[in-house]
Structure 1
Amino acid sequence: MKSPNQTKNSVSVIGAGIIGLTSAIALQEAGFRVKIFADKKFDQTLSNKVGAVWFPYSIEPKIKTDRWAGVSYARYLKESSFAKGVSMIPFLNAYNDLKEEEWVKHLPPGTVREATEKELPKGMEKGLIAEVPLAEPPLYLPYLFEKFIDVGGEFELRTFDSLEEMNQLGSFVINCTGLGARALCKDKDLHPMRGQILRTEKMGVSSFADPTKKGALSYIINRSQDAVIGGTDYDNDWNENEDARDTDLILNRLKAFGVSTPPKVLEILVGLRPKRSAVRFQFDPQYPRIFHNYGHGGAGFTVAWGCALELAEELRKKVSFQ
């Protein structure tokens, strides 16, 4: 008798962050039997450190990622009525050129509007306001993991050193290893974009993001019990330690936006976003049973469901022809 991981509808997902968890659940919904392998649990991944507001930031190619973001928006909107940690919040996004904000076209009509002068923080010239999803990692990631397990999913802590080792699992494999794919795939295009953020007490100002200046990303995300303030976006920076200068930089930017009283800092978090010239979303040319889904930069939560649902459909089609 064949073991479960050798059956036609069996899939192994490598990685337990937001990309891995959503991929696993989408595959379950498409009828696959899924097992997640990861070197750490979801609460120790980069995904657990981030603000996780729906915000198409630093991710390519736009023609695909904006579509994935739109699909994810619809999924989160549906989940906001029942999933732990998911809610819809008003969010202001600064911009330079409206023509570059293609993500707007992938949201329901009437969702996005121009911010009024009164709504703009000090020093911000233009901005768009929309009701967008917020998926709080400390609540949403456990919800996803429990959902995955409750319908028969399996989980195993395991480290893989090569694609060849992954391929020996005897099933289709979805590579959701984030920055870890750099070594696994010998992918020199994949590199870290260092982010340092502050988790603070909730703030009495509206949530917003200003990504208009490279190297000076600023945002406030008010969550149910706290707020996340950022941040940094340093390319090719492998430093995972707290930097007091970055903390001061983040707080000083808040002052520039008109926040006169600094919030109480509860925690300083540092993470390395997996950035690539384009998300790698394809079957491996050497190992055709391995599908790569990594390199989502600063928009993992924003596009996760769009990627997951598309890859599940791709795999379903592939299996049906075998």
Structure 2
Amino acid sequence: MADVIVVGGGIIGMTAAMRLRERGAEVTLWTPVGPTETVSAVAAAVWYPTGLTFEPRLLTWAAATYAAFRRQAHDGVPGVIIRETRNLERDGSIGEPWWAAAAGRVRYLPIGAPWTREVRFEAPTVEMSVYLPWLRERFVRAGGRVVRRRVDRLEEALTEAPVIVNATGLAAGSLCGDPEVHPVRGQIVLVANPGVFVSVRDQGEPGTYVHPRTRDVVLGGTFQADNWNTTPEPATRDAIIERCVALVPELAGAPVLGEKVGLRPARRGGPRVEAEKWPGGTVVHAYGHGGAGMTLSWGCADEVAALAF
């Protein structure tokens, strides 16, 4: 028997499994799909607490994750890059954003209408198609075990380990009977990178973002709560491209390489990270991170590991 079974192979499950293994636990990861088939693999995966409001624990997780990815970028971990980031605000804010304490040096610059200020900082960018396979391989090399398995009930895992980590994302709604879990649909467009190196976010409605990666640029996006549609919509694609070209004119004419839709695993009330006694053992819940899974991942994994042991 394993000491812990982690159920869920996205960024939250993988980082939790890695932290538990680093503590010496015998860890098995159950996942129904490969790393590049997870919702995490669709994410633009640029550090920023999208859709979250301040809680002390979120700031702690975000800061720890920011530091972890900076170390990994310095160490040359595949898929991890530090990018200059511009947040273009429209709401007239003058104070420091709640997340700024986690993001190193943050600068505030004047900007013309329709924006009210520009916030500049450096942010880790993670190319998930490269990083998730690397992380899973690292976990296996460290002695972890990966099993392709889908679960209908969490009790299935409790028959094989005294502690399980529930990192099942949207599936946690039915597995735990949690009515606060819901999807937030995100559609993105991938275009060839014409030489763009700075990430840009526009706070408008809908929000617009341009996130360059090694070979492509992620253009977005949408933030559609309770929308389960996973089929890309042509009109939405065209609107995203139009907004992004207006924001970064260098993108004009960039060849479209693809488009994707992901359902962010959100939860009203914020992420659920807590230990709960069940018949047969302990369930450590780790779900509901929405569009900020990458941003909170390593810090959250620290707390999950502490709750498990």
CA displacement 1:211-260 (0-9 Å, x = unmatched): 353xx021000011111000000000000001011101101212442527
Offset of 1:309 from its aligned partner?
Answer: 1.1
Identity of aligned residues (%): 33
Among residues 201, 206, 225, which one is paired with 1:209 in the alignment?
Answer: 201
Among residues 161, 170, 179, which one is paired with 2:170 in the alignment?
Answer: 179
Matches within 5 A, 1:142-291: 142-205=133-196, 206-213=198-205, 216-257=206-247, 259=249, 261-277=252-268, 278-286=270-278, 289-291=282-284
Matches within 5 A, 1:87-106: 87-95=81-89, 96=91, 97-99=93-95, 101-106=97-102
Partner Cα separation in structure 2 for residue 52 and residue 12 of structure 1: 26
CA displacement 1:141-166 (0-9 Å, x = unmatched): 11101100001110111111112223
Is contact 2:48-2:292 (8 Å) kept?
Answer: yes
Among residues 14, 17, 23, which one is paired with 2:7 in the alignment?
Answer: 14
SS at match of 2:231: coil
Q: In structure 1, what residue type is equivalent to 2:258? A: E
Is contact 1:12-1:173 (8 Å) kept?
Answer: yes
Q: How many pairs does the alignment contain? A: 302
Q: 1:94 to 1:64 in 2, by over 3 A?
A: farther
Q: 1:107 to 1:20 in 2, by over 3 A?
A: same
Offset of 1:24 from its aligned partner?
Answer: 0.6
Partner Cα separation in structure 2 for residue 147 and residue 170 of structure 1: 22
Is contact 2:275-2:307 (8 Å) kept?
Answer: no
Among residues 77, 80, 88, which one is paired with 1:83 in the alignment?
Answer: 77
Matches within 5 A, 1:33-112: 33-59=26-52, 62-81=55-74, 82-95=76-89, 96=91, 97-99=93-95, 101-108=97-104, 111-112=105-106
Partner Cα separation in structure 2 for residue 80 and residue 123 of structure 1: 35
Superposed CA RMSD in Å reads 1.9
CA displacement 1:280-299 (0-9 Å, x = unmatched): 10112545511000011111
Identify, as 1 or 2, the structure richer in strand.
2
Partner Cα separation in structure 1 for residue 45 and residue 122 of structure 2: 14
Partner Cα separation in structure 1 for residue 185 and residue 21 of structure 2: 33
Partner Cα separation in structure 2 for residue 126 and residue 53 of structure 1: 21
Is contact 1:52-1:137 (8 Å) kept?
Answer: yes
SS at match of 1:84: coil
Offset of 1:92 from its aligned partner?
Answer: 1.0
Q: Which runs of 5+ in 1 are unaligned?
A: 317-322
Q: In structure 2, what residue type is equivalent to 1:133? A: P
Partner Cα separation in structure 1 for residue 232 and residue 43 of structure 2: 15
Is contact 2:212-2:218 (8 Å) kept?
Answer: yes
SS at match of 2:291: coil
Normalising by structure 2, what TM-score?
Answer: 0.92
1:310 aligns with 303
1:319 aligns with none
Is contact 1:43-1:138 (8 Å) kept?
Answer: yes
SS at match of 1:22: helix
Q: In structure 1, what residue type is equivalent to 2:68? A: R
Offset of 1:41 from its aligned partner?
Answer: 1.4
2:286 aligns with 293
Is contact 1:30-1:313 (8 Å) kept?
Answer: no
Q: Does 1:138 align with 2:129?
A: yes
Partner Cα separation in structure 2 for residue 69 and residue 98 of structure 1: 22
Offset of 1:61 from its aligned partner?
Answer: 5.4
Partner Cα separation in structure 2 for residue 285 and residue 61 of structure 1: 28
SS at match of 2:290: coil
Q: In structure 2, what residue type is equivalent to 1:289? A: T
2:23 aligns with 30
Offset of 1:99 from its aligned partner?
Answer: 3.7
Q: 1:43 to 1:264 in 2, by over 3 A?
A: same
Q: Which runs of 5+ in 2 are unaligned?
A: none
SS at match of 1:309: helix
Q: 1:212 to 1:283 in 2, by over 3 A?
A: farther
Is contact 2:170-2:265 (8 Å) kept?
Answer: yes
Is contact 1:251-1:262 (8 Å) kept?
Answer: no
Q: Which moved more, 1:52-61 or 1:15-24?
A: 52-61
